[in-house]
Amino acid sequence: MTIRANNWLDGIPAYIPGKHSAGHATPPIILSSNENPLGCSPLVQQALANFQNAHRYPDPSAMQLRHELGRIHNINPENIICTNGSDELLQLLARAFLSPNDSGVCSEYGFLMYPIAIKLTGAQLVKIPEIDYKTNLPGFTNAMNTRTKLAYLAYPNNPTGYLPPIYDMDQFIKSLPAHVVLVLDCAYSEFVADPHYHQKLSEWAHHPQIIIARTFSKIYGLASLRIGWAVGAPTIIQALHKVRGPFNTSAVAQAAALAALADREFLIESYNLAKQGIEYLTNELTAMQYHVLPSQANFILVDCGTEERANAFLEKCTANNIMIRGMQPYNLPHCVRISVGTMAENTALINIMKS
């Protein structure tokens, strides 16, 4: 007899991240992973420089960070959990609520970790086809049955940048079966300007079946420190505490996150840069006859029309030491995704494509 892993792992592809290097001698322009091109706040840099407790285990519950998040968002800290990036949270939710007899639902062009998290439990994966790159909320509703226990929905979506209208979301949530947990992945929420969106997040945070996932990896610029958080009903949070590791967020990540929350000016600067970059890239690429999808995040999805044209776009950028994201893993081989960089980086990409 030979060693064999669980048979449901056979159909799970390994996650493929965006490229950060093409092997050139000079540092690349990285526009592949939706990171903050400004880096992190000066307050975070200071906190990292002053950190001295690497020999001590971190606070297992991230109490200080949870209390500060609760104060800022007017949430009971007991309803908040901190995780090793939102990726860990997505897997913890699947581990807590799915079994091989259940099913989990996600969108056709949703974040790649959703189907991976579902399949890791042996549960059935149900993908909902999108309509013109838009999340199909009625499709979610129609696909749910007695086996459905978990639904992942990005709000805004990655990689399309689409944000379903608030009215449609309200109707969808009202139709949610009582036995289904809805995961609203709001990794890019800080890039959404609409105040009604944020009011609704505050309202939905008290819904007994909803958990809202957030991250410090995007606008806060802490991607390498792996720190995220979520707010949800006590029953959901308590279940997650049972399946998470005892020291799942490091002390240095907790300290950096606290410092990041204190720098409102950096947040505004990062937001403004993202909006400026999306407008510039959209206008320039549209003039080159590319179809750029509207985005409520810090990236754009570019429909090149054909796989050949998308590959040419990708290869031209890579040859010139600019890293963007090919969309083959998302089953969008005719598209590329471009993260917003500094204006100098955005201009460099456009100049390469014009040459």
Which pLDDT tens digits describe the chain residue by residue (355 residues)?
A: 788 888 777 777 777 777 777 677 789 999 999 999 999 999 999 999 999 989 999 999 999 999 999 999 999 999 999 999 999 999 999 999 999 999 999 999 999 999 999 999 999 999 999 999 999 999 999 999 999 999 999 999 999 999 999 999 999 999 999 999 999 999 999 999 999 999 999 999 999 999 999 999 999 999 999 999 999 999 999 999 999 999 999 999 999 999 999 999 999 999 999 999 999 999 999 999 999 999 999 999 999 999 999 999 999 999 999 999 999 999 999 999 999 999 999 999 999 999 8
- Is 302 a member of any domain? yes
Residues 274 and 332 placed together within one structural domain of the fold: yes
Calpha distance 58→155 (Å, rounded): 31
Residues 113 and 157 placed together within one structural domain of the fold: yes
- 190 close to 46: Cβ distance less than 8 angstroms: no
Last residue of a domain, one of 227, 261, 295: 261
- What's the pLDDT at 343? 98
Residues 88 and 204 placed together within one structural domain of the fold: yes
Residues 35 and 100 placed together within one structural domain of the fold: no
- Is 15 a member of any domain? no
- Is 10 a member of any domain? no
- 237 close to 78: Cβ distance less than 8 angstroms: yes
φ/ψ region of 103 (left if φ > 0, alpha if ψ in -120 to 50, else beta) reads beta
Task: Report the candidate in 347, 182, 342 with the shortest Cα–Cα distance to residue 272.
Answer: 342
How many alpha carbons lie under 13 Å from residue 18 in its C-beta half-sphere?
24
- Is 271 a member of any domain? yes
Residues 29 and 113 placed together within one structural domain of the fold: no
What is the number of structural domains in the chain? 2
Residues 241 and 256 placed together within one structural domain of the fold: yes
Name the residue range of residue 337's domain. 20-40+264-354
Residues 241 and 336 placed together within one structural domain of the fold: no
Residue 27 belongs to domain with CATH number: 3.90.1150.10
- Is 4 a member of any domain? no
Task: Report the candidate in 10, 256, 282 with the shortest Cα–Cα distance to residue 119.
Answer: 10
Residues in the chain: 355
- What's the pLDDT at 11? 78
- Is 204 a member of any domain? yes
Calpha distance 216→341 (Å, rounded): 18
Calpha distance 184→5 (Å, rounded): 31
Residues 75 and 210 placed together within one structural domain of the fold: yes
- Where are the alpha helices (H) located in the chain, listed in sequence order? 42-50, 63-73, 85-97, 113-120, 137-143, 166-174, 195-204, 234-243, 251-261, 264-287, 307-319, 343-354
Residues 185 and 118 placed together within one structural domain of the fold: yes
Q: For residue 298, give the DSSP letter.
A: S
Instruction: Please give the structure tokens belonging to residue 203.
Output: 């309202």
- Is 13 a member of any domain? no
- What's the pLDDT at 22? 67
For β-strands 210-215 and 181-185, DSSP reports them as parallel
- Is 6 a member of any domain? no
Residue 253 belongs to domain with CATH number: 3.40.640.10
Residues 166 and 223 placed together within one structural domain of the fold: yes
Last residue of a domain, one of 240, 261, 282: 261
Task: Report the candidate in 145, 121, 124 with the shortest Cα–Cα distance to residue 6.
Answer: 121
Residues 273 and 248 placed together within one structural domain of the fold: no
Distances (CA, A) of 234 to 71, 207, 208, 238, 243: 18, 10, 8, 6, 15
Residues 48 and 111 placed together within one structural domain of the fold: yes
Calpha distance 236→181 (Å, rounded): 8
Calpha distance 35→8 (Å, rounded): 32
Last residue of a domain, one of 231, 261, 291: 261
